[in-house]
Amino acid sequence: MRIQIEKAARRLTLYQADREPLFSCAVALGRCPAGPKEREGDGRTPEGRYFVCLKKMGKYGPSLGVSYPSEQDALRLNAPEHLTALIRERAARGERPPWGSFLGGEIYIHGGGADTDWTAGCVALSDQDAQTLYDLTPLGTAVDISP
């Protein structure tokens, strides 16, 4: 399975076997949606290749944790080597990256509504779509976020 999020189109598509669309819905993004995430608090939704690193019921209902920051994000943003190494190690084990650094983190795909860009960098869906996606998506699913 693979989740493709197209920021410009405000569209999420879940693919089965990387080719057959299984589910698609509208999304809302961070309050400053243009460009990739640069730092904690910038209001941008990341761009790149990630994976679903956790599933939980959160403030906005069913939530899929996205493995931001990736090693590529850390390198692009000149993170210290110890942080880059920790991100790399956790990704290799399929674990959640360290959240709370200057790079930001805690990026989720969750409910709360997709009518307007309002999140701090997450991807928001209607509550019904968030539940459907949550039910269909296993841990480890690839998440591609494109401009």
CATH number, position 35: 2.40.440.10
Parent domain of 67: 2-146
Q: Using only C-alpha atoms, what is the Rg of the chain?
A: 14
Kindly tell me if the per-residue pLDDT of 113 is higher than 70: yes
In whole angstroms, what is the distance from residue 114 CA to residue 13 CA? 14
Spatial separation of the C-alpha atoms in residues 134 and 147, rounded to whole Å: 23
Structural domain total, the chain: 1
Residue 74 structure tokens: 């850390």
Q: What is the mean pLDDT of residues 3-20?
A: 93
Between β-strands 107-110 and 61-66, what pairing exists: parallel, antiparallel or unpaired? antiparallel
Task: Write down the pLDDT at residue 85.
Answer: 96
**Each residue's pLDDT tens digit, 58-72:** 999 999 999 999 999
Residue 18: predicted pLDDT: 63
Distance CA 96, CA 128 (A): 25
Position 17 scores a pLDDT of 79
Question: Which residue, among 83, 95, 16, has the nearest Cα to 52 in the 3D structure?
Answer: 95
